[in-house]
Structure 1
Amino acid sequence: MAADSESLFSLDTYHVSEELGFILPDPLEELPPYYQPWMDIALRVPDLVHSHELRLHINKMPLLGTQHLQKHRELRLAHLALSVMTMGYTWQEGENNTVEMLPHNLAVPYWEVSQRLGLPPILTHADAVLANWRKKNPEGPFDMENLELLLSLPGGDSVRGFFMVTLLVELAAVPALRNIPTVINGVRCGETEAVARALEDISQSIQDMTDALKLMHVYVEPSVFYGIMRIYLSGWKDNPSMPNGLVYEGVQIEPMEYSGGSAAQSSLLHCFDELLGVKHEAKSSAFLTRMRDYMPPEHKQLIQDISSQPSLKNFVQQQDSERLNQAFQHCVTKLLHLRNYHINVVSRFITVPAARARQLRDRSQDSEGEMISRAPTALEERGTGGSGIMTFLKTVRDQTKDAFLPERRTEMNHQS
C-alpha cells in the first residue's frame, strides 16, 4: 500500500544536503568588512598562541555588534572564528595557566551568534569540521589533496589532517543518510524489498566511513595530536584544569560549563543508532543525549524524528524475508566494525601516548617524547568531550551488539 505523499519522511526540512549530508555546503571564507578585526586574529591563532600574544591581541579587540551577520553561512563562519579565538585564548598557556573569564569583547558577540544558531559558545564538531573547509580547486575532487581548512589551531599539518579526515568520514556517510527516508517510508508501507535494498546501501556507506577513518593514520601524527592539539579541543566541563567552568564576561556573572569537541557531536551515529534500534545504558545514553545540544538544532531534530518512527527491527522480524534479515544484520555488523575501529584509533592517538607520557615525565626526553610529556595530565583518561573515553567507547560498542536479531546475537556472544 502506498503512503500518502504528505506524510512521507524526507530530509528536506533538516538542513541536510543531498550531496554533502550534514556538511555545510560552500562555507563562506570572509565575513562582511565590519568584522575584519575578528578574522585578522582568527586567521593567526596558531602563530599568536605560539608567541604567547593571542590573549593580548584579543584583549585589545573592538567590541563588535552582531547585527550585520544576516545569513546562515555568515553566522557559521562567525561562530567558527569566535570559537577558534576562544579555544586559543583559554588554553594559550596550557593546562596550568587557564583563564577564569572570557573578555566581554569576545564573550558577548560569541554568545549572541551562538544563540542565533542554537549552538553553544564553544568549538563544536559543527564548527571545526562541518563548516571549516574549502576546495583549493573549486572544480577539483572532494579529497585530501584538494581540501584545506579555513581556520586552524596549534598543531600544524596534523590539525588539517584530523579535521579533513573527519570531514571525509562525514562525506562517506552521505549515501547512508539519503537512504534513511527510504527505510522509514518502506517500513510504514510494508515494502520489504525497498527496505532491504536501502539497508544494503547503508551497510556499504558505513564500510566507506570506516575506510575513510583509516586515513587518520596517514595524516595525523599521534604525538602531535596528543601533545599539542588535544588541549585546544577541550572544554570546561568535567575538566580538572577548569573545575569552575568559564565566566563569559558581559553575558552572566556565574561561570558556565561546556564540553569540548567529541566524535559524539557528529549526528551520523546517532541517526544510525535510532534507525537500527541500538539502545545505550544510562550513563552512555546521558552523555550521548547531552552531545546533541552541541549539534545544529535541525540535525538534532532529525535524530529525534528518526527515533519516533515505527521500529525497523520489529518490521524485519515480522517479515519472512531472508534478504531483509541479512541486510539488517549486515548493517549492525558494519556499525559494530566502525565502532571497533574507532576504539583502535583512540588507542593509538590517546591511550598509548598517555601511557608513554607517564613513563617519560621523569626521564630525559627526545623531541617527540617531550611533546607527549607536556600534554595535559587532566586529559590522560578522558576524551575532550569529558567522558572516560575507553570505558565509554567499549560500552557503546558492546551495546551495538544487542541490536542484532536474536540468532546473530547468540553467535556474537559466543565469539566475545
Structure 2
Amino acid sequence: MTHHVDLHAFGVTAERGFLPIADPAIEIPAANPEWHKTARDLPALLPSGKIRAIIEALPEFRSEALSSEEDLEAAMRTLSYLGMAYVWGEPESPSALPARLAVPWHEIAAALGREPILSYASYALWNWRRLDESGPIALGNIALLQHFLGGLDEAWFILIHVDIERRAGAALAAGARAQAAISDGNDADATSALNDLGDALDGILGTMKRMPEACDPYVYYHRVRPYIFGWRDNPALPGGLVYEGVTAYAGKGQTFRGETGAQSTIVPCLDAVLGVDHAPDQLREYLMEMRRYMPRKHVGLLEAFEAGPTAASRIATLGASAPKELAAARNRCVETLRAFRALHLEYAATYINRQAADATGNPTDVGTGGTPFMKYLKKHRDETEASLTK
C-alpha cells in the first residue's frame, strides 16, 4: 500500500515549506494596536532601560476577537517579543511576569498548542515580509517584521533561516515522493526523488554558508543572542519564571526552553525520510521535547514521515540487490545533511563557544535552548555520518 504524505494537509507547500501559505501581514493588527506598536518600537525602547515600566503601562490585552491563525500568530509574535524584552531587557532578570503580560501570552500560546515563550515559529516562520510582493521569498527580497535591537546582524541571522525554510519545501515534497515510491517498491522513482532531495539540500547548505556575510560573531553573541534565552537550565533564573495570574501554573516557576533552531521541523523530517537514527539518550529526549514548541500541524507532518518507510530500510531490505543508484542518491543526501550539521557545529563554536561570556544569562557553554550544545551538535553530526550506506 502506498504511503502517501500530503503536505497540504499540514499547511505545508513545496513552494514555501513550513512558512505560512500567505505572507504574514505587514500592517499592525486592529486588535490591541498599542501592544503591537510597542513591540515594533523595541529597537527604540530597549536602550531606555525602562522597557518593563513601558510594558506594565499598556492597556489590557484583549484576545476575544482573535480567531484566525494569522491573528493568533501575530499576537503570539508580539507577546513573545515583549515577554523576552521584559525578562532580558534590563540588567537584573525578574522572577515573575506581570499578569497583564503573562495571562494573554499563555492564552494565545494555548490556542496555538505551544508554550508561552518565544519559539522559532514566531522568531522566523511568521516574522518576515517581501520587499517586492511579486518577487521570491529569498535573501535580497525579504525583511523582518519584528526586531529586538534591530540592525543588519539580527536581521540577517533570522532571514537566513527564512530562506532555508522556503528552500526546504522542495526537499519535503521530494521526501514525500521518495516514501511513496519506496512503499510501492519503485526504486527508480525513489532514486529520482532522492536526487531531487539532494538538489534541495544543496540549496539549503548554500544559504547556510552565507551566514557570515552579514552576521558578525561578536555582534550576534552580545546583541542578538541575549534576548532569545529561555528559563530552563538558565543560571539567571534558577527558580524558573512565574507567570502571575495564570491559574494553570499555580504560582510555580516555569522552565521553558528558549528559541533554538532545533524547533525547526526540517531536519527531523529529513532524518525520518532518509533513515538517520539517533540513539535513545538525553539528546533524543531533548529533540522530542522540542515538538512542544513547534506548530501542531508541522509536528503532524513529521509524524506522518516517521510512520513511513525510510530509504535506509529499503536499501537494507534489498541487500546486495539494492540498485547502486538508489544507495548513491541516499548517500548524497546524507552527506549533505552531515555537512549542514558540521557547518552548524562550526558556527556554534565561532558565534558562541569562543566568545567571552559577559552575563550570567548568556553563557558560552549552554545553548539558548538550555543544552550543552557543542556536545549535542557533535553527536548529531557523527550519527548522520554513521548512517551513510557502506
Normalising by the residue count of structure 2, what TM-score does the alignment of the two structures yield? 0.94
1:76-134: CA deviation from partner (whole Å, max 9, x where unpaired): 1110000000011100124xx00111111111111111011111111111111000000
Moved over 6 A (4+): none
Deviation at 1:378, TM superposition (A): 4.6
Aligned to 2:232: 237
Aligned to 1:219: 214
**Residue 39 of structure 1 pairs with residue 36 of structure 2:** yes
**Residue 93 of structure 1 pairs with residue 90 of structure 2:** yes
Match of 2:378 among 370, 379, 394: 394
Aligned to 1:51: 48
Give me the whole-angstrom Cα distance separating, in 2, the residues matched to 1:181 and 1:34.
Answer: 39
Give me the whole-angstrom Cα distance separating, in 2, the residues matched to 1:312 and 1:140.
Answer: 35
Kindly report the root-mean-square deviation, in angstroms, between the aligned alpha carbons of the 2 structures: 1.6
Deviation at 1:377, TM superposition (A): 6.2
**Residue 304 of structure 1 pairs with residue 338 of structure 2:** no
Match of 1:270 among 268, 271, 277: 268
What one-letter code is carried by the residue in structure 2 that aligns with 1:256? Q
**Residue 112 of structure 1 pairs with residue 68 of structure 2:** no
Aligned to 1:382: 366
Q: After the TM superposition, which residues 313-332 of structure 1 pair with which residues of structure 2 at under 5 Å, given as runs?
A: 313-317=312-316, 318=318, 320-332=322-334
1:187 to 1:244, Cα distance in 2 relative to 1, 3 A? same
Aligned to 2:125: 130
Structure 2 counterpart SS, 1:86:
helix
Contact 2:51 2:90 in 1 (8 A): no
Contact 1:237 1:245 in 2 (8 A): yes
Give me the whole-angstrom Cα distance separating, in 2, the residues matched to 1:155 and 1:229.
Answer: 9
Structure 2 counterpart SS, 1:316:
helix
What one-letter code is carried by the residue in structure 2 that aligns with 1:390? M
Give me the whole-angstrom Cα distance separating, in 2, the residues matched to 1:392 and 1:18.
Answer: 30
Give me the whole-angstrom Cα distance separating, in 2, the residues matched to 1:311 and 1:44.
Answer: 47
1:281-318: CA deviation from partner (whole Å, max 9, x where unpaired): 31110111111111001111211221121333121231
- Structure 1 unaligned spans of 5+: 358-372, 408-416
Aligned to 2:74: 77
Aligned to 2:163: 168
Give me the whole-angstrom Cα distance separating, in 1, the residues matched to 2:361 and 2:110.
Answer: 33
What one-letter code is carried by the residue in structure 2 that aligns with 1:113? I
Aligned to 1:150: 145
Aligned to 2:255: 257
Contact 1:155 1:225 in 2 (8 A): no
**Residue 139 of structure 1 pairs with residue 139 of structure 2:** no
Aligned to 1:288: 287
Match of 1:14 among 10, 14, 17: 10
Deviation at 1:170, TM superposition (A): 1.4
- State which drifts further: 375-384 or 171-180: 375-384
Give me the whole-angstrom Cα distance separating, in 2, the residues matched to 1:144 and 1:263.
Answer: 18
What one-letter code is carried by the residue in structure 1 that aligns with 2:175? I
Deviation at 1:374, TM superposition (A): 3.4
What one-letter code is carried by the residue in structure 2 that aligns with 1:93? E
1:313-340: CA deviation from partner (whole Å, max 9, x where unpaired): 1212315311111111111111111111
What one-letter code is carried by the residue in structure 1 that aligns with 2:240? G
1:175-207: CA deviation from partner (whole Å, max 9, x where unpaired): 111112111111111111110011011112112
Give me the whole-angstrom Cα distance separating, in 2, the residues matched to 1:266 and 1:69.
Answer: 25
Aligned to 1:363: none
1:336 to 1:382, Cα distance in 2 relative to 1, 3 A? same
Contact 1:23 1:171 in 2 (8 A): yes
Deviation at 1:142, TM superposition (A): 2.6
What one-letter code is carried by the residue in structure 2 that aligns with 1:41? T
Deviation at 1:239, TM superposition (A): 0.7
Structure 1 counterpart SS, 2:9:
helix
Deviation at 1:254, TM superposition (A): 1.0
Structure 1 counterpart SS, 2:143:
strand
Give me the whole-angstrom Cα distance separating, in 2, the residues matched to 1:293 and 1:240.
Answer: 23
Give me the whole-angstrom Cα distance separating, in 2, the residues matched to 1:298 and 1:63.
Answer: 30
What one-letter code is carried by the residue in structure 1 that aligns with 2:278? H
Contact 1:227 1:375 in 2 (8 A): no
Structure 1 counterpart SS, 2:66:
coil
Aligned to 2:172: 177
Contact 1:234 1:384 in 2 (8 A): yes
Give me the whole-angstrom Cα distance separating, in 2, the residues matched to 1:18 and 1:311.
Answer: 20
Contact 1:135 1:142 in 2 (8 A): yes
- State which drifts further: 318-327 or 257-266: 318-327
Q: After the TM superposition, which residues 186-201 of structure 1 pair with which residues of structure 2 at under 5 Å, given as runs?
A: 186-201=181-196
Contact 2:221 2:352 in 1 (8 A): yes
Contact 1:381 1:388 in 2 (8 A): yes
What one-letter code is carried by the residue in structure 2 that aligns with 1:264? A
Give me the whole-angstrom Cα distance separating, in 1, the residues matched to 2:361 and 2:121.
Answer: 27
Normalising by the residue count of structure 1, what TM-score does the alignment of the two structures yield? 0.88
